[in-house]
Structure 1
Amino acid sequence: MKKIQLLSILFFLFHHLLLAQESDTLKSPFSEPRYHYFLKTIIFFDEYLDTDNGSFNTTQVRVLLPIGNKAWNLRFDLPLISANTNSINKTAIGDVGMGVSYIPYMKNNNGIALRTRVYANTAADPNFGTGKWVVMPAVVYGKYLYEKRILWLSTLEYQGSFAGENDRNNISVTLFENVMLYFFGKNWVAGDVAFRYNGIIEGFQNNAFVEFGRKITPNNLIYIHPSAGFGTNRTYNFGIEMGVLILF
C-alpha cells in the first residue's frame, strides 16, 4: 500500500510539473523532426534489408497520437513485408505493434521519456515475424548540445518475449542506442549507432545508420537513411529506408 501511495504522489508531482512546463514543449528535444511527441503524426516509410538468407522489404504505416496534456503519446505500427526468400508468402502482414510513451521530466534543453511497446504475433508468414508476443520497455534521454545546434538522444531498451509459439526461439535483447542530429535551415543530418546484445545467442547484433532529412512544407517532412549491420551475429548486411512524415 505504501508503494502505491508513493507512486500516486510521484505521478501527481510529475503531472503538475509537466503542466507548468507545457509552454516549453515546442523547444524540447522531443519536438524535433522524427522524434517529437507533441503533434499528431502519420509516417509512411519503406525499408529494404539485405540479409544472408535473402532480402526483405517493409512498407510501414506508423501513427503517433499525443493525448491528455501531451505528456502521453500513443503509437501504432502496421507493417507490410515482401521477401526475396523461400517464404510461403512473398508479401504479407508482419507483426503489428502498439506503444505508449510518457514524459516525466522536461526542460527547455533536455528531457526524459519512458516508453513501452508491444508487438503481437500477427505475421502471416513465419519468416515475416518472431512468432512471439514481445514487450519492449525503454527509457529515452534527450539533450541539446552546442547552443541547440545538435540534438543527442540516448535510448536504453529491453526486448523480451512473453507468449507465442513454442517452436520459435524466445527473445531477450538489450539495446543501447545513441543518435546525434544536426539541424540547419529546413534540413537535418543524423548519425546513429545501436548496440544490441542478444541473450539467447549470447552475441551482439549491432547496426548503424546516417540520415538526411528535409522539411518540404510546414507540415510535411521527408528523409532517407542508409544503414548497415556490423558484428559476426548481425541480423542484416545493409539497408536503406525512405520515409514521409505528415504532421496534423
Structure 2
Amino acid sequence: MKKKLLYVFLVFLFAFSAKAQDQDISKVDGPFNEPRFNYFLKTILLYNEYLDTKNGSFNTTNLRILHPIGNKSWNLRFDLPLISTNNPNSTNQTGLGDVGAGISYIPYFKKNEGFAVRTRVTAPSAVAPNFGSGKWVAIPAFFYARYFKQRQFLWIADVEHSQSFAGSNNRSDVSVTVIENNLLWFFGKNWIATDVAFRYNYVLDGFQNNAFIEFGRKITPKNLAYVHPSVAFGGEKSYNFGIEMGLLILF
C-alpha cells in the first residue's frame, strides 16, 4: 500500500509536467517569489544543524544548490551533507551523509497563491551507518502556498512521503509521511516563522514530530540569514532539541 501511494505521487507529478506553462512564471509576483522560498532565482543555501539525541549529538553542515530551468516553472535541487557525531560512549566521526537531488514543478501560480510538486531521491552515500539510511529513497511532495493580510503573512503547507526502493538488505526500510505547516510573518527586512510537522514512521509505527520558530533577516536584498531552534515530540521522536543556522545567497 505504501509503495502504491509513492507511485500515485510520481504519476501525479508527471501528469502535471505534461501541462507546463508557456510564460516565464517568475514574472508573476506571487508566494513562491519570497526570498526565503524563492523558486525562480539561483540559490546557494549553507546551513548548520545541531541535534541533541539520546545517543549523543549530531551536527550536519549542508550545502544546497537550487537552479531554475526552462520557463522557471521547473527547479533543480542538490544537497551535499557533511555530518559529525559527539557520542561519549564511542569514537566521534565526521563524514559524508546521504547526498540528494530533486526536481520541482509549479503547475499553478498566481498573485496570492500557488501549488508546487517535487520529487527528490537520496542515495546511500553515507560513510557510516548512523550518517544515513543505507537505502535509495524517493521523496515526492505536494505544496500549497497562500498570502494573507495584504501579503504580510505567508502560509506554506506540504505533504511529503519518503519511501525506500533499493539498498542494503541489512538496513531497515524507510517509510515516513510528513504533514507540515509553515506560517511566515514579514515585517521590514525581517521575518518570523513558526512550523509544526507531524511525521509518522510506518516502520517504527510511531510519530516523530517536531516544531520550530525561525527568526530571519535580509542582510542585503539577495542575501539572507536565519536561525531556528526546534523541539521534537512524539512516541518515536528521533531527537530531543536542535538549532539550525543558515545563510542564503540568491542570484
TM-score higher than 0.5 here? yes
How many pairs are equivalent? 238
Encode CA deviations 1:197-216: one digit per residue, 9 max, x unaligned: 11111111000000000001
- 1:153-232 alignment runs, 5 A limit: 153-232=156-235
Distance 2:194 2:154 in 1: 11
Secondary structure of the 1:48 match is strand
How high is the TM-score relative to the length of structure 1? 0.92
8 Å Cα contact 1:49-1:240 kept in structure 2 = yes
Aligned to 1:28: 30
Aligned to 1:62: 64
Encode CA deviations 1:125-149: one digit per residue, 9 max, x unaligned: 1110011111100000000011111
Aligned to 1:50: 52
8 Å Cα contact 1:14-1:105 kept in structure 2 = no
Q: Aligned partner of 1:221: which letter?
A: L
Distance 1:97 1:64 in 2: 12
The answer for unaligned runs of 5 or more in structure 1 is 1-6
Identity within the alignment, %: 60
8 Å Cα contact 1:87-1:125 kept in structure 2 = no
Secondary structure of the 2:32 match is helix
- Please, which of 97, 113, 117 is the counterpart of residue 116 of structure 2? 113
Query: Is residue 142 of structure 2 the alignment partner of residue 136 of structure 1?
Result: no
Distance 1:129 1:10 in 2: 31
The answer for unaligned runs of 5 or more in structure 2 is 1-12
CA RMSD of aligned residues (A): 1.8
How high is the TM-score relative to the length of structure 2? 0.91
- Please, which of 15, 35, 48 is the counterpart of residue 21 of structure 2? 15
Q: Aligned partner of 1:185: which letter?
A: G
1:34 Cα deviation from its structure 2 partner: 2.2
Secondary structure of the 1:114 match is strand
Aligned to 1:152: 155
8 Å Cα contact 2:35-2:222 kept in structure 1 = no
1:14 Cα deviation from its structure 2 partner: 3.8
Distance 1:120 1:31 in 2: 30
Secondary structure of the 1:34 match is helix
Aligned to 2:245: 242
8 Å Cα contact 2:19-2:107 kept in structure 1 = no
Encode CA deviations 1:42-101: one digit per residue, 9 max, x unaligned: 011000000011100001100000001100000000000010126666100000001000
Q: Aligned partner of 2:171: which letter?
A: R
Distance 1:150 1:103 in 2: 21
Encode CA deviations 1:104-157: one digit per residue, 9 max, x unaligned: 001100000000010000000111001111110000000001111100000001
Distance 2:82 2:38 in 1: 24
Q: Aligned partner of 2:72: which letter?
A: K
- Please, which of 126, 130, 151 is the counterpart of residue 127 of structure 1? 130
8 Å Cα contact 1:110-1:141 kept in structure 2 = yes
Q: Aligned partner of 2:175: which letter?
A: S
